[in-house]
Amino acid sequence: MPVDECESLLPEKAAPVVYLVIPCYNEEEVLPETARQLTEQLSLLVKDGAASPLSRMLFVDDGSRDRTWEIISSLSGENEFVCGLKLAHNRGHQNALLAGLMEARKHAGCAISLDADLQDDISVLPQFLQKFREGCDVVYGVRSSRKTDSFFKRATAQGFYRFMRALGVDVVYNHADYRLMSRRALDALSEYKEVNLFLRGIVPLIGYRSDYVTYERHERFAGESKYPLKKMLSFALDGITSFSVKPLKIISNLGILLSVLSVAGLLYALISYFCGDTVVGWTAIVCSIWLLGGIQLLCIGVVGGYVGKIYSEVKARPRFRIEERRGNMETEKPASCGKDTLDQEKEKM
Ligand code: UDP
Ligand code: MG
């Protein structure tokens, strides 16, 4: 049977299998409440025929040191919607998210990623699915305002988006990682093998039809942010150096500018020498030594940052390792042709 015909028989055309992918790091305080609220939402979606009963919440434990995994395990025993993945180490939010998305890709028609702390407004989930039904492969959750942020976080975050844009990186303004991706988009995502992951930069590169849903971001329900200032800055820097080589160009231009200025400085020094005025100018020399030394070190640091990235990309170490799985992640079988047959046919193409 041709693949297209076979795909048209997939029941998920009517109600897609939706996977909510939730990375969790030391989230014991929020998990029970998050699972409760998401179960409510998912049950409504299933009841309204917007999601298949095989839809799931997939909690990814990113090597937590508290009771996060025990809670996920026990929830998966009592709630059929709950599934869990346990990573062997703490690999960071982006890798944990990727692990969940790659697992969801095996079972779901679409996956929606969201934080464990209920900051992302889950009442807009039906809007995500509506856009998916209308044919979007990627739906971005975009914050309607940043009222709940501190002044500092708001200013730095907005500065970051502007800076990224100025460097020519296509990022969606005020969008973090609350987004829907269709299976096709997840397949495309699986082809991006980079180790330095910055998903909100990669997803726009996929290029399928996309749209956005606006939502109000709440305060964290409980517990503390796992993104302190230091981690946030290194994440922002990672985003810049993973997607733009403009800083290297800026360095070269700075080098050219300084060389031109130093010729002028040389001329000045020579003229001063011939005028017998050499002691004067000590301050200028000392200042320029410090200034140039600083600029050189900074530039070497930026170049070193890129070299370091090449180093980790070349090694191509696994981005995550799954230690355990919990819950019942079934794959929906099409009515008249098994998924295996479908996969085999796709492989032949
Ligand atoms: N997270 C993770 N691994 C980490 C750090 C964070 O999986 O190493 C998860 C965390 O549990 C949460 C999400 O990533 O679900 C976003 O983190 P958080 O809410 O602390 O960040 P913020 O919203 O404060 O920027
Ligand atoms: Mg949060």
Longest dimension (CA), the chain: 97
Q: How many CA atoms lie within 13 A of 172 on its CB side?
A: 24
- In this prediction, residue 163 carries a pLDDT of 87
- In this prediction, residue 246 carries a pLDDT of 83
Low-confidence ranges of the chain (pLDDT < 50): 1-12, 334-349
Ligand 1 atom closest to residue 97's alpha carbon, by position in its atom list: 7
- In this prediction, residue 188 carries a pLDDT of 98
- In this prediction, residue 139 carries a pLDDT of 98
Ligand 1 atom closest to residue 22's alpha carbon, by position in its atom list: 15
HEC string for the chain: CCHHHHHHCCHHHCCCCEEEEEEECCCCCCHHHHHHHHHHHHHHHHHCCCCCCCCEEEEEECCCCCCHHHHHHHHHHHCCCEEEEEECCCCCHHHHHHHHHHHHHHHCCEEEECCCCCCCCHHHHHHHHHHHHCCCCEEEEEECCCCCCCHHHHHHHHHHHHHHHHCCCCCCCCEEEEEEEEHHHHHHHCCCCCCCCCHHHHHHHHCCCEEEEEECCCCCCCCCCCCCHHHHHHHHHHHHHHHCCHHHHHHHHHHHHHHHHHHHHHHHHHHHHHCCCCCCCHHHHHHHHHHHHHHHHHHHHHHHHHHHHHHHHHHCCCCCCEEEEECCCCCCCCCCCCHHHHHHHHHHC
pLDDT digits (tens, 9 = 90+) for 275-311: 876 776 767 787 788 788 888 888 888 888 898 889 8
Please give the radius of gyration of the chain, using alpha carbons only, rounded to the nearest integer: 26
Return d(Cα 58, Cα 325) in angstroms, integer: 10
Return d(Cα 157, Cα 237) in angstroms, integer: 12
- In this prediction, residue 340 carries a pLDDT of 40
Q: Taking a C-beta distance cutoff of 8 angstroms, is the pair 175, 142 a contact?
A: yes
- In this prediction, residue 190 carries a pLDDT of 97
Among the listed residues 253, 258, 217, 231, the one whose alpha carbon sits nearest the alpha carbon of residue 118: 217
CA-proximal residue: ligand 1, atom 2 (nearest): 93
Q: Whole-prediction pTM value?
A: 0.82
Ligand 1 atom closest to residue 62's alpha carbon, by position in its atom list: 7
CA-proximal residue: ligand 1, atom 19 (nearest): 225
CA-proximal residue: ligand 1, atom 3 (nearest): 93
- In this prediction, residue 332 carries a pLDDT of 58
One-letter amino acid identity for 271?
Answer: I
Return d(Cα 225, Cα 105) in angstroms, integer: 28
Among the listed residues 191, 51, 193, 39, the one whose alpha carbon sits nearest the alpha carbon of residue 111: 51
Question: What residues line ligand 1, using a CB cutoff of 6 Å?
Answer: 23-25, 27, 62, 90, 92-93, 96, 115-117, 119, 225-227
Determine phi and psi for 147, rounding to 5 degrees. -65, -35
